[in-house]
Amino acid sequence: MCILLWIYLLLMHTAASCPNLCICKWKAGKEWVECASRGFQGLPQGAREETQVFDLSGNQLLNLSSDCFFILRLFNLQKLYLGRSHIQYVSARAFTGLQGLVELELSENELDRVPSEAFISIGNLMRLNLSGNPLKVLQHNNFIHLSQLSFLDLSHCQLSQIESGVFANLHKLEWLRLNDNLLTSVPENVLPLSASLHDLSMHGNPWRCDCLLSTLRDWLMASQIQTSQEMEPSCAEPLTLMKRSVRTLKIQDLACIPRVKLIDYLNIYEGENVTLNCEVQAVPQPAIIWLLNGKQLNLENSAIKEEKFRYTYSQYSKSGKIITSLNILDVKELDEGNFVCQAENAAGIASDNLTLFVLHSEHNTIDPSIEDFKTGYVAAITTSALLGSLLALGCLFLGIFLYAQNLRTYSKNNSKVFSIRTVTSLSIFKKKSNKSPSKIHSVHNCTYTMNTNSKSNDTCLQNTSDQVEIVCLETNVRTIKNLALIDSPNKVIPLIGVPETLEVREHTESPDEGYVGDVMDI
């Protein structure tokens, strides 16, 4: 009677603390809150802190924001069902406070990536269901925080690529479902090697059974996992292997069409030696032949001895590739043409071609002695011209330097200064008395050269009487006279003797009884 009363009181307490529209009950030894398919657009409030199982599947949750379960104080939650709830985004802190969570279902939502950051808060998770989300790609660090995971469902996720090492941290994984995706191959170091794994579902993928699938075939052969024929991964291509179980294939069946690489063309001079290198990558190892202009080069059975001697083969492996070389000695015109490197294995035939152009060497028809003489003569002329130019430049710079030195020396020692000026117009006065000149003469486009004993460093004319040389450009007349020149306004310089051929102009009297010519442009 007491036990029944205790159960009744517990049920009444539970019912009194249940979110609206939800059902709260004791089920399978755990306290459940069932809110599935109730049309919720957010997390309902009112669940007890002791809640262990929370079913919110089939709602319109869209996003799981930061601390959304921490706010509800569901610290004892162990199982959380959020499938078919149109969830598009899960915050990195969405599961904060749920350290005891061991099972999380996010199936058939709209996640386009694994919310790996959110898994940091639930490191004790053991079961994770992400099936039915358009994930497309699994990245190497998606499950790095879930070392306790034993069940992982990634079926129907449109997966076409899985990065190496994505399951490397899942040492306790027992069930892995990768079925019904778009996988054609798996790279090395993808499949878990845990001894605890006993269920692997990989059927329903369009497996391409070539050399890239040898990793999966070897893994299936080494594992002890037993599945039904319907659950075995099988080939979708090539046609010769369609629907064949991957596990039953021989390694020779998993062939890749060879990849052949040659340079496009090569120019070589007649008489030289050349090596044509062909790079081939294929599994299994292919048979390789060379062709010249459509004809196979079969050196072993060649009836032409010269061809056997001039053509040789060599072959070696490097970094998983086969390098085959065709060596041609003493190239001739008949070697010109299209060379083809062809590789064939169980997967098919592939080839690449190279065009060899044979160039003719040009022979020198000029007498070497004459050519050497011409070359030496031209070299001597060029050298002489260069030395002459350098010598002339040196003399020019030396002359300028010495001239500048002389000017400085003469100026310092009050010696004669040689001054040359070119003027457009020059006013010249002829003097009758000590006071004023009687005529003004102008010389146009003339050059005067003046020797002066003036101690002034100024290059302008001073009030002295000196010998002046006048050269008129218009008449080409050179005259040396003792003249006096006007250098500036109100300065009259006496002169003696003026050429009668010079033009006479009027003059004006200045206020200080001096006279200034009508043209003065120095």
Residue 291 has pLDDT above 50, yes or no: yes
| Whether pLDDT at 451 is above 70 | no
- Look up residue 462 and give its DSSP letter: -
Q: Are the C-beta atoms of 426 and 471 separated by less than 8 Å?
A: no
Q: Cβ distance 84 to 110 under 8 Å?
A: no
Mean pLDDT of the chain: 77
Gap between the Cα atoms of 148 and 171, Å rounded? 8
pLDDT in tens, 115-173: 999 999 999 999 999 999 999 999 999 999 999 999 999 999 999 999 999 999 999 99
Query: Which among 501, 503, 496 is positioned nearest to 468, based on CA atoms?
Result: 496
pTM above 0.85, yes or no: no
Q: What is the pLDDT of residues 209-239, one digit of tens each?
A: 998 898 889 888 888 777 777 889 999 999 9
* DSSP-assigned letter for residue 317: E
Name the helix (H) or strand (E) containing 253.
Answer: none
d(CA 273, CA 279): 20
CA distance linking residue 297 with residue 311, whole number of Å: 9
| The pLDDT of residue 65 is above 80 | yes
Residue 268 has pLDDT above 50, yes or no: yes
* Contact (Cβ atoms closer than 8 angstroms) between residue 112 and residue 139: no
- Which helix (H) or strand (E) segment holds residue 405: the answer is helix 368-412
Q: Alpha-carbon distance 316 to 432, whole Å?
A: 116
Q: How far apart are CA 96 and CA 149, in angstroms?
A: 18
Residues 6+ apart with CB under 8 A from 70: 96, 97, 98
- 22 close to 32: Cβ distance less than 8 angstroms: no
**Tokens found for residue 342:** 């062809």
Of the candidates 208, 167, 157, which has an alpha carbon nearest to the alpha carbon of residue 184?
Answer: 208
Residue 464 — pLDDT band, cuts 50, 70, 90?
very low
For 90, residues 6+ apart whose C-beta sits below 8 A from its C-beta are: 63, 64, 106, 111, 115, 118
Segment 174-195 shows an average pLDDT of: 88
Checking DSSP bridges between strand 137-138 and strand 161-162, what pairing results, if any?
parallel
Give the pLDDT score at 21: 93
Which residues does 390 contact at the CB level (< 8 Å), separation at least 6?
none
Query: For residue 188, how many C-alpha atoms fall within 13 Å in the half-sphere facing its CB?
Result: 1
Q: How confident is the model at residue 264 (pLDDT cuts 50, 70, 90)?
A: confident
pLDDT score, position 150: 96
Measured distance between the N- and C-terminal CA atoms of the chain, rounded to whole angstroms: 141
Burial class (CB in 10 A: 0-12, 13-18, 19+), 299: middle
Beta bridge partners of residue 259, listed in sequence order: 281
- Residue 16's pLDDT is 53
In this predicted model, which residue has the larger pLDDT, 410 or 194? 194
DSSP string, 350-379: EEEEEEEEEEPPPPP-S-HHHHHHHHHHHH
Share of the chain above pLDDT 90, in %: 48
More confident residue, 297 or 352: 352
Question: Does pLDDT of 43 surpass 90?
Answer: yes
pLDDT band at 308 (very low <50, low <70, confident <90, very high): low
Residue 292 CB neighbour total at 10 angstroms: 19
Provide mean pLDDT across the span 482-493.
Answer: 45
Residue 262: pLDDT over 80: yes
Higher pLDDT, 380 or 335: 335
Question: Would you give the DSSP letter of residue 116?
Answer: G
What's the average model confidence in pLDDT over 335-354? 92
pLDDT at residue 160, rounded to an integer = 97
Average pLDDT over residues 233-250: 93
- Whether the pLDDT of residue 501 is over 50: the answer is no
Cβ atoms < 10 Å from Cβ of 296: 12
Biggest alpha carbon distance in the chain? 164
pLDDT computed for residue 187 by the predictor: 86
Q: Which of 106-120, 157-171, 248-262, 459-473 has the lowest mean pLDDT?
A: 459-473
Return the percentage of the chain with pLDDT > 70, whole number: 68
